[in-house]
């Protein structure tokens, strides 16, 4: 066993979840591979991106909820 390999007991939950996800993608493949966006979806997305953003800044969120 190589020295640079990590034991499962030394992994975080996030590390383990990432490893499992990578292995599943490796075994099953990417379910979205080869799919294309419809022209209707692209148009809706472009229109949405053109609209003014209604996002709050970090400071505004703090004022409202703190």
Q: What is the pTM of this model?
A: 0.40
Alpha-carbon separation of residue 60 from 22, 52, 57 (angstroms): 38, 17, 5
Locate the domains of the chain by residue range. Answer: 8-65
| Tens-digit pLDDT profile for residues 9-24 | 888 999 999 999 999 9
Q: What DSSP state is assigned to residue 6?
A: P
State the pLDDT confidence band at 4, using cuts at 50, 70 and 90: low
| Tens-digit pLDDT profile for residues 24-49 | 989 998 888 889 999 999 999 998 88
Contacts of 19 (CB under 8 A, 6+ apart): 11
């Amino acid at each position: 066993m190589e020295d640079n390999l990590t034991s499962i007991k030394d992994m975080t939950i996030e590390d383990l979840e990432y490893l499992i996800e990578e292995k599943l993608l490796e075994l099953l493949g990417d379910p979205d591979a080869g799919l294309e966006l419809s022209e209707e979806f692209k148009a809706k997305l472009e229109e949405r991106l053109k609209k003014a953003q209604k996002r709050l800044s970090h400071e505004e969120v703090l004022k409202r909820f703190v």
